[in-house]
Amino acid sequence: MRLRSLSVMLVAILAAGAGNLCLSKGMQLVGSLEVFTPSAVWAFFSAAVTNPWVIGGIALELANFLLWLAVLSWSQVSWALPLNALEYILVALAARLFLGEVVGPVRWVGIGLIAAGVVLLYASWEHPETDAA
């Protein structure tokens, strides 16, 4: 039960992380939304959803969503959701490598605190009284 949830979650997280990198790359190419008239907003979203990187990102996020549906049928939402935070570490590393983002010490500390919170949340599943279905 637990192994099944965990392994499906890990695959889902990898898909989500890769998806967000693609979306970010695509939106950098589409450019910043700066004009908020209806036609400008429409043009922005049209450019976004026809960008190949964004389309690839959507496909990966969709894969993540379908896996997530399966996990939700097995686990409590307040336990299962925080495991997604592993994605932040992977994405921060990959964004440095592939998108040239500068990740400073304060941001790493923040990501570290978030990851620690995630480990603590994971540990709380050891206690069956908090895990009643």
User: Which residues of this protein are in contact with other proteins, per CB under 8 A?
Assistant: 20-21, 23-24, 27-28, 30-33, 44-45, 48, 54, 58, 61, 65-66, 69-70, 72-74, 76-78, 81-82, 85, 87-88, 91-92, 95-96, 99, 101, 103-104, 106-107, 109-121, 123-124, 127, 129-130, 132
Minimum separation from the CB atom of position 127 to other proteins (A):
7
| Alpha carbon distance 76, 21 (integer Å) | 28
Distant-in-sequence, close-in-space partners of 58: CB < 8 Å, separation ≥ 6: 19, 23, 49
**Residue the block writes with tokens 């994971």:** 122
Give the nearer residue to other proteins in terms of CB position, either 12 or 85: 85
Minimum separation from the CB atom of position 114 to other proteins (A):
4
Tally of CA atoms within 13 A in the half-sphere of 70 that contains its CB: 16
